[in-house]
């Protein structure tokens, strides 16, 4: 079955056409600067790169260009858009309503709207993507796959914050967690790769990319994760600060005379690796700067390493041990050095890596030392494939 996977941002539309039988990506595209000058579409099919600039005033127009590109005689992969059996949409915040992927109907759209206060940066854009696709593909079933859904199995002791219960009951303030599609995919894939039953495993998944989160997965269910009400909580990220004392907000506001929105903008966009190092939000730049003696880049690296270690230690404690540690996403899949630094001194947990086996980038590998009780693996994430599979499962019997 051919499934179109769509990830809509406020001015962008990322898409992949996936064949769920072969797991192959047939086409991959990105439309940027929707509604702004210089809107560009880039598409790749089997190494053939197709790119053009054309005004697109909104997501509906952009979706039509996406379909035109996919069915283009010279650069496309489809002879007819009816070949698309389903569209899978990434939706960031599903709140407490969505514990799994669902077929989109009016009620689902209303529920995604209701969750806008929880995901103000992402849900409106995700909705625009859904509604635009519905307009240009009115007869194609659409599925919503939520970043938060996988973490809905967390128990109250993991998802509640220590604030008056009224805030949870009235305002739904709680830990939701994100990257759920990735944590679900890599944990299941790690179990398969190791030939083990996921229902009998304690797994810690480290999704380390520009945004990073770590999850504790006990018998296939998420029992804790590092991101919270928003993706700001947890380990240090590219531009996000990760966890800190909330009183820092008031202290900065009072001293610098800036608003809470400005402080949050700094915590989201100007902190993390970028803010600490003053160099870049990109791990490769941080590594290069640290290597050449930049002390702030070095300490940024160290904050991240230590944060990951602390989560691994605490999640092992929560699950009464750990059987598998998974590294995934841009940094987790590619940074040999970070994996080595994080896993150093972890033998007290029965976890050690083999430095030679660790010399892999971007492919599935068991990097554990022969005598390591804990399996340490690299599993490239594939959120698009996971979304396409969910869409397939939901629409196959329609």
Q: In what order do the strands lie in the sheet with 221-225?
A: 221-225, 212-218, 202-208, 324-328, 375-378, 365-366
Nearer to ligand AMP, 140 or 280 (CB): 280
Segment interacting with ligand AMP (CB under 6 A) among 97-105, 136-144, 281-289, 387-395: 281-289
Nearer to ligand AMP, 133 or 326 (CB): 326
Q: Determine if 359 is a binding residue for ligand AMP (CB under 6 A).
A: no
Question: Residue 195 CB: number of other CB atoms within 10 A?
Answer: 6
**Using the rule CB under 6 A, which residue among 283, 322, 367, 394 binds ligand AMP?**
283
Which residues fall within 8 angstroms of residue 349, CB to CB, at 6 or more apart? 312, 313, 316, 321, 322, 374
Q: Determine if 238 is a binding residue for ligand AMP (CB under 6 A).
A: yes
Segment interacting with ligand AMP (CB under 6 A) among 79-87, 157-165, 304-312, 327-335: 327-335
Q: Which residues of 9-25 are buried (b: 16+ CB within 10 A; e: fewer)?
A: bebbbbbbbbebeeeeb
Q: Give the C-alpha separation, 5 to 387, whole Å.
A: 7
Q: Smallest distance, Å, CB 340 to ligand AMP?
A: 12
Segment interacting with ligand AMP (CB under 6 A) among 67-75, 83-91, 283-291, 341-349: 283-291
Q: Smallest distance, Å, CB 286 to ligand AMP?
A: 8
Q: Smallest distance, Å, CB 13 to ligand AMP?
A: 18
Question: Residue 89 CB: number of other CB atoms within 10 A?
Answer: 25
Task: Supply 171's token pair.
Answer: 């305002």
Q: Smallest distance, Å, CB 291 to ligand AMP?
A: 12
**Using the rule CB under 6 A, which residue among 8, 329, 367, 387 binds ligand AMP?**
329
Q: Which residues of 95-133 are buried (b: 16+ CB within 10 A; e: fewer)?
A: bebbeebbebeeebbebbeebbebbeebbebbbbbbbbb
Instruction: Decide the pairing of beta strands 102-103 and 86-91.
Output: unpaired
Nearer to ligand AMP, 119 or 238 (CB): 238
**Using the rule CB under 6 A, which residue among 44, 72, 282, 354 binds ligand AMP?**
282
**Using the rule CB under 6 A, which residue among 210, 243, 296, 314 binds ligand AMP?**
210
Q: Give the C-alpha separation, 32 to 35, whole Å.
A: 9
Catalytic residue among 147, 224, 305, 323: 147
Nearest residue to ligand AMP, scored by beta-carbon proximity: 330
Gyration radius of the chain's alpha carbons: 21
Burial tier of 60 (Cβ tally within 10 Å: 0-12, 13-18, 19+) = middle
Cα 364 from chain centre: 18
Q: Smallest distance, Å, CB 34 to ligand AMP?
A: 21
Nearer to ligand AMP, 265 or 291 (CB): 291
Count of positions (residues) in the chain: 398
Q: Smallest distance, Å, CB 182 to ligand AMP?
A: 9
Nearer to ligand AMP, 12 or 210 (CB): 210
Q: In what order do the strands lie in the sheet with 40-45?
A: 48-53, 40-45, 24-32, 13-19, 2-8, 86-91, 142-146, 102-103
**Using the rule CB under 6 A, which residue among 334, 358, 368, 372 binds ligand AMP?**
334
Nearer to ligand AMP, 61 or 215 (CB): 215
Task: Supply 202's token pair.
Answer: 């304690």
Q: Determine if 331 is a binding residue for ligand AMP (CB under 6 A).
A: yes
Q: Smallest distance, Å, CB 158 to ligand AMP?
A: 25
Nearer to ligand AMP, 287 or 364 (CB): 287
Q: Determine if 16 is a binding residue for ligand AMP (CB under 6 A).
A: no
Q: Give the C-alpha separation, 224 to 246, whole Å.
A: 21
> Does the annotation count 285 as an active-site position?
no
Q: Give the C-alpha separation, 24 to 19, whole Å.
A: 5
Catalytic residues: 147
Give the residues lining the site for ligand AMP (CB under 6 A).
209-210, 238, 282-284, 287, 329-331, 334-335, 361
């Amino acid at each position: 079955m051919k499934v179109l996977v769509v990830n809509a941002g406020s001015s962008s539309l990322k898409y992949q056409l996936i064949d769920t039988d072969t797991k192959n990506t047939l086409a991959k595209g990105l439309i940027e600067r929707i509604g702004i000058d210089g809107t560009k579409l880039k598409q790749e099919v089997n190494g053939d790169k197709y790119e053009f600039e054309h005004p697109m005033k909104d997501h509906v127009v952009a979706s039509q260009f996406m379909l035109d590109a996919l069915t283009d005689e010279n650069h496309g992969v489809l002879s007819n858009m009816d070949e698309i059996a389903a569209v899978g949409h990434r939706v960031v915040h599903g709140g407490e309503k969505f514990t799994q992927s669902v077929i989109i109907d009016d009620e689902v759209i209303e529920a995604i709207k209701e969750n806008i206060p929880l995901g103000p940066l992402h849900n409106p854009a995700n909705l625009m993507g859904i509604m635009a696709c519905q307009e240009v593909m009115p007869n194609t079933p659409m599925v919503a796959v939520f970043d938060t859904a996988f973490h809905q199995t967390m128990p109250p002791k993991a998802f509640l914050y220590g604030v008056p219960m009224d805030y949870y009951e009235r305002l739904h303030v709680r830990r939701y967690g994100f990257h759920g599609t990735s944590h679900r995919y890599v944990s299941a894939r790690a179990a398969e790769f190791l030939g083990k039953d996921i229902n009998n495993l304690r797994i810690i998944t480290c999704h380390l990319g520009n945004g990073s989160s770590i999850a504790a997965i006990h018998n296939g269910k998420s029992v804790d994760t590092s991101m919270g009400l928003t993706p700001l909580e947890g380990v240090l990220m590219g531009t996000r600060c990760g966890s800190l004392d909330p009183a820092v907000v008031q202290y900065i506001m009072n001293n610098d005379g800036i608003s809470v929105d400005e402080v949050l903008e700094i915590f989201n966009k100007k902190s993390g690796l970028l803010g600490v190092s003053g160099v870049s939000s990109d791990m490769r730049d941080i590594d290069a700067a640290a290597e050449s003696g930049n002390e702030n880049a070095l300490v940024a690296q160290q904050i991240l390493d230590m944060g990951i270690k602390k989560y691994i230690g605490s999640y092992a404690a929560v699950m009464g041990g750990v059987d598998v540690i998974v590294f995934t996403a841009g940094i987790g899949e590619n940074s040999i050095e970070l994996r080595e630094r994080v896993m150093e001194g972890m033998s007290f947990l029965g976890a050690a890596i083999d430095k030679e086996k660790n010399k892999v980038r971007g492919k599935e590998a068991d990097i554990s030392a022969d005598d390591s009780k804990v399996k340490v693996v690299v599993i490239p994430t594939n959120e698009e494939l996971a979304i396409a599979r969910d869409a397939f499962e939901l629409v196959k019997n329609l």
